[in-house]
Structure 1
């Protein structure tokens, strides 16, 4: 009978490779198990979380087509054939407001309970407005007002948002600074809102300048510093001329 000592290098080499292979198999099984757990968790979440009724898709598509054929003055909707739930529009700043001359990209977000619950609105273009947060969220109370789940209309929603640019409701402010200025110092509010419109909402080469709706104080500070620098130069020039 052939005997192999434990010190046989071939046997040792074989055992090492066997050990490594066994470790790799165990690791692979663990990875597969983790992936299965992740997929299962995602599926459970999809089942548990309420989804928008897919039967609303054709209704929304029809309403969007109606708005395109019978447009709202100053509102240009963008119909996404690939995803009818992607509801966006460009809203022109109304005349005699600090938003005049600007174009503001707006998006509607439909909650799972829609149409029993009113949609949410979001400005993707920076705007200084009492009823719009610094992140672009539009005051929900405004969209909920007179909402009728049996007679809802996307056209009406966009009309409400446009009217909000004409007549803000500072008592329901999401931007406290804008609301306070609107009530206490309208001229300063108008100036600030117009400044942001000129920076972020004016079209260039047919494209809307869209800024992420975050804190806008940095941009305003830059503008103010630039104006102060220019004023200082003018004052220095006047002093120099007087000396001459």
Structure 2
């Protein structure tokens, strides 16, 4: 699917900004093979049934973006009134409140807020919506169980690399698979000397080096547009 150069430039600028300055509790992953398939990891907010979990999601941009909103989808299973059993997200910012000026940052922040304040009146998961209104303790129990089963394992695994080239619908990238294979074979950690040194010296430095590498690739793409 071909997008106008102006749309790709806007998208590259937004993604670059999200990587450089991520919103609280949100981490955007770049799919270099397809920037229009936006992937993110959302930390379950404290004080909610989703606390401690790490939820992977996608924003799929339509052909007429930004005239039409993206489609939001949770890849990680979640028990929530405004998320269907197949992962579709129901939130006004992706429907009637969408405008061509709405940013991806705003969309992601609203979706995380949805984990704090669900809206059962517009439920896609009617069972979750009914329990939230009538039997909150049971809703809380079910939501925490789903979080423990599906999202806690992701949180324990740690964050996905910033660049997720060729990531599949389950959120695992070809880069992850390749890295795992090299680990088993006792191979090198990567081709970048900067990243190698950062990994051995300081995990935070490694994350910074990865972010800088990703930013450079986005800026390089911008120059071609």
TM-score bracket, normalised by the shorter chain, equals 0.5 to 0.7
Distance in 1 (CA, whole Å) between partners of 2:82 and 2:146 is 15
Matches for 1:67-82 after TM superposition, within 5 Å: 67-82=18-33
2:143 alignment partner in structure 1? 193
Higher RCO (C-alpha 8 Å, min separation 6) = 2
2:78 alignment partner in structure 1? 127
**Equivalenced residues, count:** 160
Instruction: Tell me if structure 1 keeps the 8 A contact 2:91–2:111.
Output: no
Distance in 1 (CA, whole Å) between partners of 2:139 and 2:3 is 39
Instruction: Tell me if structure 2 keeps the 8 A contact 1:181–1:189.
Output: yes
1:129 deviation in Å? Answer: 0.2
Alignment RMSD (CA, Å):
2.0
Instruction: Tell me if structure 2 keeps the 8 A contact 1:120–1:140.
Output: no
1:173 deviation in Å? Answer: 0.5
1:205 paired to 2:157:
yes
Distance in 2 (CA, whole Å) between partners of 1:207 and 1:55 is 31
1:138 alignment partner in structure 2? 89
1:21 alignment partner in structure 2? none
What TM-score results when the alignment is normalised by the length of structure 2?
0.66
1:164 alignment partner in structure 2? 114
1:135 deviation in Å? Answer: 0.3
1:180-232, Cα deviation, whole Å (9 max, x unpaired): 00111111101100000000001233268xx97xxxxxxxxxxxxxxxxxxxx
Distance in 2 (CA, whole Å) between partners of 1:107 and 1:205 is 19
Structure 1's unaligned 5+ residue stretches are 1-45, 213-244
> Which of 1 and 2 has greater Rg?
1
Distance in 2 (CA, whole Å) between partners of 1:197 and 1:187 is 15
Matches for 1:39-54 after TM superposition, within 5 Å: 52-54=3-5
1:181 alignment partner in structure 2? 131
Matches for 1:1-244 after TM superposition, within 5 Å: 52-139=3-90, 141-149=92-100, 151-202=101-152, 203-206=155-158
Give the 4+ runs in structure 1 shifted more than 4 A: none
Structure 2's unaligned 5+ residue stretches are 161-168, 171-225
Distance in 2 (CA, whole Å) between partners of 1:207 and 1:65 is 18
Distance in 2 (CA, whole Å) between partners of 1:160 and 1:145 is 14
Distance in 1 (CA, whole Å) between partners of 2:15 and 2:102 is 13
Instruction: Tell me if structure 2 keeps the 8 A contact 1:109–1:120.
Output: yes
